[in-house]
C-alpha cells in the first residue's frame, strides 16, 4: 500500500478471555491479536460463504431502516469527493438492511460492481441478539467508566480514506479481509486533510489516493508513508489502536463485515476537544505568529503540561477553574464559556 512496508506487530496464541488490556493500552501502539475472534459464529458462517454470512446477519434484523451508501463502479470502492471537491462521489439512502444485502449479493460475481457500504451501525439497536453470540468480554476497568460503542460495518470492496477518530478502537474482522494503513497523529500535515465539512463519514479525510499517490501534488505523503504501518487482517483477527491515529481502511472481499468497539477512558462530562479546536480557529488561528507563540506557551502550561502544575502553589480554596474537573466544575466552566461566547 503506497510503498509502506512496515507491518503492525502481531500477537498469537492469546485466549479471548485473557487479552492483556493493561499492557496493550499502555503501549499506545497498534497491535493485531491473531485469531482471537476466529470461533465467533459470524466468522464461521463467513468462512463457509458470503451468502451464509448475510443470511445469518439478517436473522437478527428487526426491520428498522439503516443508512446505506452507494457509489458507481467507477469509484472502485473509494468513498470520497468529486474531482472538484464540491460534493461527494456517492449517494446515501435509508433502506432495509436485508434489501441492501440482497443488492450486494446480486453483484458478488461482478468484476467491477457498484460500491455498497453500511457504515457504523449500532448492533444492539439494529441487530439485537447478535452480540450474545459474537462479542468480546470487555470486563477490564478501562471500559467501566464509559461502556464501548459497539458497531457493525458491512459492504463489498470499499475504501474508507485515511481519517482519525476521537476514541480508541478495537476492530474485529468478521467476514472477508481488511487492510488498515495506520499513521501516528503527528503525521497529519503529511496526509493532507480535506475540508472540515462536508465529509464522507463525519470525520476529516486525507485527500491522497493511496492506490496512486500524486507526489507532485502531495509531496509530503512520502514522509507519512515512511512513518506508516500496515495491518493485514483475516477473518477472526482483532486490531487494537489508540485514539487519534490516522487509519485508511480497505475491505478486500466481495462481501465484508467488521464489528468494532469505540471507547474513551474519560468521564461523560468532559467536552469534545474538537469544539476547542473550532473555537481556537475563531480566537487564535489568525492572530500574528509571534502572539500565537506566546499563546502556545500558555497552553503548554495550562493544558498540555502536567495537570497539577498550575495549582501546586495555590491554596485549595483559590484554585477555582484550575482544580481537577468533576461534573459540577464542568457545568460551571461550560456556563462561564457560554456566557462569554454569547457576549
Question: C-alpha cell of 1?
Answer: 500500500
**Architecture of domain 10-263 in this structure:** Sandwich (2.60)
Please enumerate in sequence order all residues whose Cβ is within 8 A of that of 41, keeping only pairs 6 or more positions apart, or say none. Answer: 56, 133, 134
Residue 9, helix vs strand vs coil = coil
**Alpha-carbon distance 237 to 173, whole Å?**
6
pLDDT by residue, tens only, the chain of 343 residues: 557 889 999 999 999 988 998 899 899 999 999 999 999 999 999 999 999 999 999 999 999 999 999 999 999 999 999 999 999 999 999 999 999 999 999 999 999 999 999 999 999 999 999 999 999 988 877 787 678 999 999 999 999 999 999 999 999 999 999 999 999 999 999 999 999 999 999 999 999 999 999 999 999 999 999 999 999 999 999 999 999 999 999 999 999 999 999 998 888 888 899 999 999 999 999 999 999 999 999 999 999 999 999 999 999 999 988 999 999 999 999 998 888 888 7
Q: What residue spans define the domains of the chain?
A: 10-263, 273-341
Distance CA 255, CA 176 (A): 6
C-alpha cell at 189: 500535515
Among residues 162, 160, 153, the alpha carbon closest in space to that of 184 is found at: 162
Amino acid at each position: 500500500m503506497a510503498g509502506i512496508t512496515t507491518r503492525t506487530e502481531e500477537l498469537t496464541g492469546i485466549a479471548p478471555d485473557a487479552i492483556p488490556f493493561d499492557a496493550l493500552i499502555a503501549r499506545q501502539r497498534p497491535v493485531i491479536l491473531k485469531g482471537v475472534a476466529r470461533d465467533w459464529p459470524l466468522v464461521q458462517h463467513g468462512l463457509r460463504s458470503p451468502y451464509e454470512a448475510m443470511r445469518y446477519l439478517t436473522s437478527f434484523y428487526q426491520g428498522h431502516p439503516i443508512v446505506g451508501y452507494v457509489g458507481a463502479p467507477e469509484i472502485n470502492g473509494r468513498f470520497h469527493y468529486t474531482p472538484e471537491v464540491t460534493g461527494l462521489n456517492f449517494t446515501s439512502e435509508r433502506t432495509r438492511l436485508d434489501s441492501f444485502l440482497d443488492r450486494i449479493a446480486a453483484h458478488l460475481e461482478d468484476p467491477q460492481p457498484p460500491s455498497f457500504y453500511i457504515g457504523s451501525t449500532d448492533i444492539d439497536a439494529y441487530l439485537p441478539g447478535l452480540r450474545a453470540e459474537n462479542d468480546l468480554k470487555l470486563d477490564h476497568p478501562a471500559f467501566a467508566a464509559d461502556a464501548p460503542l459497539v458497531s457493525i460495518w458491512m459492504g463489498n470492496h470499499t475504501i474508507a480514506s485515511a481519517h482519525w477518530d476521537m476514541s480508541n478502537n478495537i476492530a474485529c474482522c468478521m467476514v472477508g479481509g481488511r487492510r488498515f494503513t495506520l499513521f501516528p497523529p503527528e503525521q497529519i500535515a503529511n496526509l493532507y486533510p480535506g475540508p472540515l465539512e462536508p465529509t464522507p463519514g463525519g470525520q476529516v479525510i486525507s485527500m491522497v489516493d493511496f492506490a496512486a499517490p500524486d507526489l507532485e501534488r502531495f509531496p509530503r505523503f512520502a514522509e507519512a508513508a515512511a512513518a506508516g504501518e500496515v495491518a493485514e487482517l483475516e477473518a477472526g483477527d482483532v486490531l487494537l489502536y489508540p485514539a487519534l491515529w490516522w487509519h485508511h481502511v480497505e475491505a478486500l472481499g466481495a462481501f465484508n463485515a467488521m464489528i468494532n468497539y469505540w471507547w474513551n477512558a474519560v468521564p461523560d462530562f468532559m467536552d469534545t476537544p474538537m469544539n476547542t479546536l473550532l473555537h481556537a480557529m475563531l480566537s487564535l488561528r489568525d492572530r500574528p505568529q509571534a502572539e500565537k507563540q506566546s499563546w502556545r506557551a500558555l497552553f503548554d502550561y495550562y493544558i498540555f503540561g502536567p495537570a497539577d502544575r498550575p495549582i501546586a502553589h495555590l491554596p485549595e480554596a483559590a484554585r477555582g477553574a484550575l482544580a481537577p474537573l468533576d461534573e459540577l466544575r464542568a457545568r460551571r466552566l461550560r456556563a462561564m464559556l457560554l456566557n462569554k461566547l454569547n457576549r
